[in-house]
Amino acid sequence: MIMDDIAFDQEMDRLCCENLAEEPLAPHTTFKIGGPAHRFVIVKTTSQLAGVLKELERQGIPRIIIGKGSDLLISDRGFSGAAVCLGGEFQEIALRPDQVSVRAGAAAPLASVCAFARDHGLSGLEFAWGIPGSVGGAVYMNAGAYGGEMKDVIVRTEHWDSQGHPGTYGAAELDFSYRHSRYTESGQVIAFGEFRLIPGDPREIGAKMEELMARRKEKQPYDMPSAGSVFKRPKTGYAAALIDQCGLKGRSVGGAQVSEKHAGFIVNTGGATCRDVTELMELVRETVWKQTGVELEPEVRIIGDR
């Protein structure tokens, strides 16, 4: 792929999109790891999104969508295509006319949607309080915790395809399963999600949210850069328990370390590289396989030029 930088930049100017060259991606991820994107485009309207996607498709330029960057590990060499960051109207949150549904942009932090629901006396999103991601990322991977998942509350999504055409899916069309949705393979860009919730007491909802947050902070390395759970839950047992059982808590490669607080997390102790993390992941997978016969599958998405 040879990107026509001049044509691309001219089209971004025409669309009035902020367009940065060789923007480091580390600050845009919760892992704080990653080299530059050849182009980093900030999209604030649906018309801009349609135009950007059309131009990327026309040139055959690979793309990644950046939300909160909470489930991404970016290559040290960066990404030779375009990173598209959603802002503007994709960060908006609104109550629907039925007064029990909430429409939120894909770039809206999940925590903001949880707080909005609580403040409007709507229950159902308490489980998501503290998940460090955006609505788009949460829908994409059917994020969940403490017995709840996106599939329990999402009733409709809006998206744009690579040709810049809009579309929608209802809940039954989203093909939700463990850490999977229809979007995992579709290539469509999630723009909005609609949550169907249940009326409740804001104080009770808030108390439940704080209870779950306290449990998170007690058990998870909330104070260190990470990408959340590194491995998916295997068919038997739990990844964190298996990793702990194999004596891997605290094991390090460079600046990457299996968290001493929660073995399911790999944390950046300072200056970790993508290579540090991937080497540590492979060490963990090999050790768990040899000692338990269980094969761990990565949950974190590894993106970029290897």
Q: Which of 23, 55, 194, 299 is catalytic?
A: 299
- Point out the catalytic residue in the list 75, 134, 229, 259: 229
> Any residues with CB less than 8 A from the CB of 115 and at least 6 apart, and which?
none
Q: Are 126 and 202 in contact (CB under 8 A)?
A: no
Q: Is 179 a catalytic residue?
A: yes
Selection from 34, 31, 6 nearest residue 21 by Cα: 6
Exactly one of 39, 118, 156, 179 is catalytic; name it: 179
Pair 78, 33: CB distance under 8 Å: no
What are the catalytic residues?
179, 229, 299
